[in-house]
Amino acid sequence: MPVLGCPSMSEPVWWKQLAVDGRARSGVLHTPHGVVDTPAFMPVGTRASVRALDSADLMGVGTQMVLSNTYHLMLRPGSERIAGLGGLHVFMSWDGPILTDSGGYQIFSLAPDLTEDGARFRSTYDGSIVNLTPEGSVRIQEELGPDIAMVLDELIALPAPRPQVEAAMRRSLRWAERAVAVHRRSDQALFGIVQGGTDVELRAESAAKTAELGFAGFGIGGLSVGEPDDERNRAIDATVEELPTTKVRYVMGLGDMEGLLDAVARGVDLFDCVWPTRLARHGKVISFGGDFNIRRAEFADDPAPLEIDCDCHTCSSYSRAYLRHLQVTSELSVHRLISIHNLWVTQQLLSEARSAIAHGRFEGFRKEVANARRAMRDSYGDRPDGPG
């Protein structure tokens, strides 16, 4: 397939399409700290750390880019302190690209007092009052120094009445305009965020007006908050239709295997989620053949790896029996070992998706993954913990 044109290479972050297959597409996201092959998944390092893992672990599973969170880092250790220590890349010893969320997710999860000016939080650490505005979020992210900063947006729970969804969407647009006006760091890109819930008309309007602001890329926010898959997919369709084809598209907070492939099929390039590592801390194993919990008694004498033919460090070194032992005895190392496997599988999924797009067989690959996981579910009925 022909390579689409791309923004000026003088811009700090730009994306180039390499191949398309239907609406699925693969490409390369260029950043000041390296390139990212897309579609790509970003592990979540909220406090400048992906739980239980270090930078070497992240590189070992194929991570190209990580995400950290503005709200938490502005409170501890503080963006000025991180800037004084050389910026976020130096602070967390990660040489690759970094994206920071703006604090918008905390508007959803912590329910602060909201005004047109911004959000008024009570700190989750010491109870003090903290104000976060669109301008303040940009300033903090410029101090942190990620390659990509996100605008502050209003994320609401779904389902919600249309007037509430529309009000949040329009406020997010006004906040985006304010963020654009103050962003100054020339080696950092600012991404806009599309809102609108699952209302396709609001999604389309938000996407079109956000695109008019000239962002280097676009987050698709306000999804993966409990809405049905078909409604989420329709919202993504309506959004992508209005976004530039030459810029990267990022569904925020999406990380389950089927959901990732649904979004890739619709032309989405970038993802993040706590899902792989959060599941790991509860003993839940992600696998191409279906997910399962390592706690099950049947694994006590099982010498097999978590997944046959998996090349991750965990599967190359340890048995299900050993990992079950670590889990039931609450050994902390199990969090790292299962997290390594879960992230490896997630990264491998998108690596294979990129290859499938390049060879014009994405839909076939997607069906293979779905069929394998469906067969596992059919074999074990309604068991929530999979095989065993």
What residues act catalytically?
A: 101, 272
b/e burial code for range 205-226 (CB count within 10 A of at least 16 → b) = bbbebbbeeebbbbbbbbbbbe
Neighbouring C-beta atoms of residue 318, cutoff 10 Å: 19
Q: State whether the Cα torsion 33-47-90-333 is positive or negative.
A: negative
CA dist 311 to 289, 351, 382, Å?
Answer: 15, 14, 29
**DSSP code for 116:** S
Q: Check if the beta carbon of residue 235 is closer than 8 Å to that of residue 266.
A: no
Taking residue 381's Cβ as centre, other Cβ atoms within 10 Å add up to 6
- Give the pair of three-digit tokens for residue 273: 């989620």
Report which of 66, 227, 75 is spatially closest to residue 155, judged by C-alpha positions.
227
Tally of residues, the chain:
388
State the Cα–Cα distance between residues 268 and 57, nearest whole angstrom: 26
